[in-house]
Chains A and B, each alone.
Chain A
Amino acid sequence: MLKSLREKNLGILALIIAVFFVGWLEQVEPGGVGITELTFGIFTFNTVVRIGILTIVVVGLNILVGYAGQVSLGQAAFYGIGAYVSAVFTVQAKALGIPEAIASAWIWPWFLMLLGVLITGGFTWLIGRPILRLKGHYLGMATLGLGIMIFILFRENFAIKPSTVIITGGLDGLPDVPRLSIGSYELWPLHRYFYLVWFFAVSAIIIGRNVVNSRVGRAMRAIHGSEIAAEVMGVDTAKFKLQALVMSTMMASLAGSLYAHFQAAVSPTPFDFVASLELVVMSATGGVGTIWGAPLGVTIILGLGEFLRANLHFLGAGSEVEPIVFGLILILIMIFMPEGIAKQITKLFNRRKSNQQTPEVSA
């Protein structure tokens, strides 16, 4: 057990080193040139930041889907709640009557980030129990419906009564979301923000890993294996399913806030139904039931998108081919590697290991 823990810490150490390496590369050759060259033109620095943000969401989703076994097809909406809380209360502070002194304080966006997490967590805690009583397809449909409902609210033109300001910005969204700063130290240009994002991403991976390797995580995995068997082992399945959901939506909300400050704008599209499914796909590609599957899946899917966008025109096709290729690859992954790439790698690894042990086993 201790040995396996040390192996896992090694992975995290490697990740942290990689983060600093990428950050250093950016400072040496700004504009993502270094990364781009190193990755044969697939990843820009910008993409690396997006991978960090989405990793946070997918770690949460992996805990919910991969460990607790509860499907969410509406996760992008919770990601959106964080983004919109951060954007609306900064951009529309004046219209909402928030005193200038508060709204311009450096700590205000950080507070909003926390507020978003609490709102999202509180909301899913309230509605989670009845919804999580549903199973399989039905749970998928309910979360899908929930996600779409929230998305429609982002998209809608809600005006604040005395003025005519549309608080969410409707279809156009909200521009000019401020950058984050600590005191007077602005977390921008991008490489500074990059460190912030990856600080959260690595923390999410560590927390996720700690949780799944604990009593709580074991209970969740037991629920995934067999809800009824978990019950007779004394696990309050309703409670732990709810905890997994709340945790995953809080992580999504946090990532959403980071996204809003990164893009300096929000609009509804990144939080729609297709985005929710893309998150599930990232989680499934990386491998449900492994925390490391999260960064892996996000990297593969985002990388695939970038790669297609960058290279398809060389093949004489326009960007419109991208979704087709994306969809086809998705289908192929699901047919041939339904357990995800991380699981496939682990399996390969284990097979090699067990091959070495064969004489012992057969004895």
Chain B
Amino acid sequence: MSPPLLELNNIGITFGGLTALEGVNTQVSAGQIKAIIGPNGAGKTTLFNIISGIYTPTVGEVTLNGEIINGQEVSGLSPHHISEKGITRTFQTIRLFEGMTVLENVMVGQHQKTNAGFFAAAFRLPSALQEEQRIEEKAMALLEQFDLADRAQEVATDLPFGLQRRVEITRALATEPKIILLDEPAAGLNNTEGHELMTFIRKIRDSGVTVLLVEHDMEVVMGLVDEVLVLEYGRPIADDVPTAVQSNPEVIRAYLGDE
């Protein structure tokens, strides 16, 4: 059997003596949609920050296709290196680039796929112009694919909230990732937008990108994902298919309190 696409081995991290995560082990196979859930302060976003290389874990390591991409021994890697290797993400609070159009936002996602330097840009060398043309087409194609093409020239941060979410995800997809991390993609969306989002995420998976998401909206989680990892106080308490997690007494206790 081939190794899982993404593997977390005994991840732990402490901040100033406080343990935020401890003993987190999990695997994500290619083509899956997997969710991380848990009560407030369980360490879900911290885990995302580790996978995307923003934090280095105190113990343990993250591997992608069997290669260690984050951990104490490879601590020099910045998030942009990890993005290059094929992991990208979105954020809990949308971080679209201010003042840039939807198209330009998505074109930034193509950054690694291009290499025009400073001088090529300053003097509009033909190579740079061709490259611009290429990634503009590529970005437009992505926008078409995810029904955003008619918004391409609008300033991204002026769009309605639900669309901003989708632009942010499309931008991340423009990096051509193997795996995309979505941090609370449904937060702040109404029911219609929530359902649209579920369709959208399935579309992403069908296009060959593995999805790992943090989500509170249980309707989204249960209706969408293949597996759920449940964290409580930085420790995993369940890692299973949704129906099993839903009836897991530990999980119910974590959410609702003792019987």
Report A's interface with B, CB cutoff 8 A: 1, 207, 210-211, 214-219, 221-222, 224-226, 228-238, 243, 247, 289
* Chain B proximity of A271: nearest CB distance (Å): 26
* Chain A proximity of B180: nearest CB distance (Å): 10
Contact A218 B95 (CB under 8 A): no
Q: Which residues of A contact B97 (CB under 8 A)?
A: 221-222, 224-226, 229-230
Contact B128 A214 (CB under 8 A): yes
When the two chains form the complex, which single residue of A218, A232, A237 contacts B107, counting CB atoms closer than 8 Å? A218
Q: Which residues of A contact B98 (CB under 8 A)?
A: 224-225
Q: Which residues of B contact A211 (CB under 8 A)?
A: 118, 121-122
Known: A215-B121, A232-B89. A225 touches B79 (CB 8 A): no
Q: List 20 A-B contacts (CB under 8 A).
A: A210-B124, A211-B118, A214-B120, A214-B132, A215-B114, A215-B131, A216-B118, A218-B108, A221-B97, A221-B104, A222-B100, A225-B97, A228-B79, A232-B54, A233-B83, A234-B80, A234-B88, A234-B109, A234-B112, A237-B80
Does any Cβ of A come within 8 Å of B91's Cβ? yes
B interface, size bucket: 35 or more
A contacts with B: majority SS: helix
Q: Which residues of A contact B117 (CB under 8 A)?
A: 216
Contact B136 A232 (CB under 8 A): no
Contact A214 B121 (CB under 8 A): yes
Q: Which residues of A contact B82 (CB under 8 A)?
A: 232
* Chain B proximity of A230: nearest CB distance (Å): 7
Give CA–CA (A238, B78) in the complex, Å.
10
Q: Which residues of A contact B114 (CB under 8 A)?
A: 215
Does any Cβ of A come within 8 Å of B50's Cβ? no
The proximity string for B residues 3-39 relative to A, scoring 1 for CB distances below 8 Å and 0 otherwise, is 0000000000000000000000000000000000000
Known: A222-B108, A231-B78, A234-B84. A214 touches B116 (CB 8 A): yes
Q: Which residues of B contact A215 (CB under 8 A)?
A: 107, 111, 114, 116, 121, 128, 131-132, 135
Residue in chain A with minimal CB distance to B116:
A215
Question: Which 3 pairs, one residue from A and one from B, show the smallest C-beta to C-beta distance?
Answer: A225-B97, A214-B121, A231-B79
Residue in chain A with minimal CB distance to B98:
A225
Q: Which residues of A contact B99 (CB under 8 A)?
A: 221, 225, 289
Contact A207 B122 (CB under 8 A): yes
Residue in chain A with minimal CB distance to B115:
A215
Q: Which residues of A contact B54 (CB under 8 A)?
A: 228, 231-232
Contact B96 A225 (CB under 8 A): yes
Known: A216-B116, A234-B80, A234-B111. A228 touches B95 (CB 8 A): yes
